[in-house]
Amino acid sequence: TIRNLLKNLGDKKSNNYILNIANRLYVRQEFSIKPSFLYLLQFYFSERLYKFNDEQIGQLTQEINSWASKHTNNRITKLMVTAKINSETKMLLLNTIYFNALWKKQFFSGKTLKKTFHISHNNQHSVPMMLLVEELSYYEDFFVRIVKLPFINKEIEMIIILPRIRFDLQNVRKKMTGKNLNYYIKHSVPAKIMLTLPMFELEQEINMEDMLRKLGIADIFNENANFKGISDGPISITNIIHKATFQMNEKGVETDAISEFKSTDITCENCITFTADQPFLFFIVQRSETILLTGQCGRNCFF
């Protein structure tokens, strides 16, 4: 059921990984909210409704930022600024994601070297590039190449997608669908891979209003909004804000450094070379079917 799915994704903690998806809903004080909606909010999201008025705007900003910091291990500390809340603000939807996990097979930290990452034909950066030689699930066709990196927790894995044609990531993104991703995952096969992957860090805040308007969903933000299931008053959404941070190194995602690895030069006979030295897509998936996180590493994603 939807409830079980949301509970399964919403808050996972173990010795191997942490996944915390937090949501919060704020509504202006004068709106009367229907008990049936409050029940659904608690039933599906284990959350309650939060109300505010003009006198609480400054305090509300601090409250939201403290909430975001708590649910992201202090990674997101400024989800909201006071300027985003004013007398016209009626309803706010907030979402944060925090993910922390260890690789099943850690990269060789002693082999992380500064190498060139090509953002485009004429734009390059020198970045820390990690190295791993391991049997991994691999797929390729005329359009993409993908490799699956498992975490210690067997349910979770990271999918790296490179365009087959160099710097063709824009076309890959246009054609990427859940069906295509599922096909790539199911048709990947074990192969010995020499994987070179950059250490990178992303922080992204998305104002969902812009995205939803582009999809033709605009009425929820104006006087034509129909939220009769929530309130009989003239309520509409003012902001939907999503923010996520993502940091990856040799040990895993959002972790401390690992001790030095001492070894001679690493070679690999009959290995498939997978070098992510150009913009690529990544997905964090659960049980090879549920997408937990997705992103793109290209410009402005490095330490």
Over residues 18-71, the pLDDT tens digits come to 878 888 999 999 989 999 989 888 888 788 899 998 888 888 889 999 999 998
> What is the pLDDT, as a whole number, of residue 9?
56
Give the pLDDT band of residue 182 (cuts 50, 70, 90). very high
Looking at domain 1-100+202-246, which CATH architecture does it have?
2-Layer Sandwich (3.30)
β partners of residue 28: 52
| Residues 121-135, mean pLDDT to the nearest whole number | 90
H or E segment to which residue 114 belongs? strand 113-120
Beta-strand runs (E) in 58-109:
91-102
Token pair recorded at residue 78 = 């400024």
How do beta strands 113-120 and 156-163 pair?
Answer: unpaired
Looking at domain 103-199+255-297, which CATH architecture does it have?
Roll (2.30)
How do beta strands 272-275 and 189-198 pair?
Answer: parallel
Q: Minimal CA–CA distance to 147: which of 283, 259, 250, 42?
A: 283
Domain segments of the chain as ranges: 1-100+202-246, 103-199+255-297
Neighbours of 241 (CB within 10 A): 19
Distances (CA, A) of 255 to 73, 95, 102, 168: 11, 22, 8, 31
DSSP letter at 260 equals P
Read off the amino acid at residue 230.
I
> Based on the number of CB atoms within 10 Å of its own CB, is 294 exposed (0-12), middle (13-18) or buried (19 or more)?
middle
φ, ψ for residue 231 (rounded to 5)? -155, 155
Residue whose tokens read 């040990």: 251
The whole-model pTM stands at 0.77
DSSP-based three-state secondary structure for 110: helix
Residue whose tokens read 């600024």: 81
Per-residue burial over 249-266, b if 16 or more Cβ lie within 10 Å, else e, is bbbbbbbeebeeeeeeee
DSSP letter at 121 equals T
| pLDDT tens-digit readout, 232-269 | 888 888 888 888 777 777 777 654 333 333 334 566 77
Neighbours of 12 (CB within 10 A): 20
